[in-house]
Amino acid sequence: MPRVAVQDSNRMSLRIRPEDKALLVRAVSYTHTDLTAFVLQNALEAAKAVIDEAERVSLSDRDSLRVLNALENPPAPNQKLLAAAQALPALP
């Protein structure tokens, strides 16, 4: 009998090897929670860590000081910057 596609976008199917599931179930037994909550909690933590790493700019102390100095003491505009500014359309 063919399976009907589920329209509910809040569900997610996951196929894993039996030994991987056994490992998860073993870990779950120590947390006194259920498998779904365990997997979801840890997957969300991992997702947040990946996003944080990808979207955060991390500078060394030296580079941080260089950025702050450039903000406080910006260099004079060069010819290319002046030409680009002049090429912008006039504001209404």
Q: What percentage of the chain's residues is helix, strand, coil (to nearest 5)? A: 60, 0, 40
With a cut of 90, say whether residue 5 has pLDDT above it. Answer: no
Residue from 49, 43, 34 nearest 12 by CA: 43
Other C-beta atoms closer than 10 Å to the C-beta of 21 total 13
Rg from Cα positions in the chain: 26
Residue 16 has pLDDT above 90, yes or no: yes
pLDDT given for residue 70 in this prediction? 95
The confidence score (pLDDT) of residue 11 equals 85
Q: Which of 1-5, 16-20, 70-74, 84-88 has the lowest mean pLDDT?
A: 1-5
| Residue 25 token pair | 């179930």
Residue with tokens 């941080």: 64
pLDDT value, residue 6 = 57
What is the CA 67 to chain-centroid distance, rounded? 24
What predicted TM-score, i.e. pTM, was given to this entire model?
0.57
Q: Which two tokens stand for residue 29?
A: 């037994």
Q: Cβ contacts of residue 16 below 8 Å, gap of 6+?
A: 24
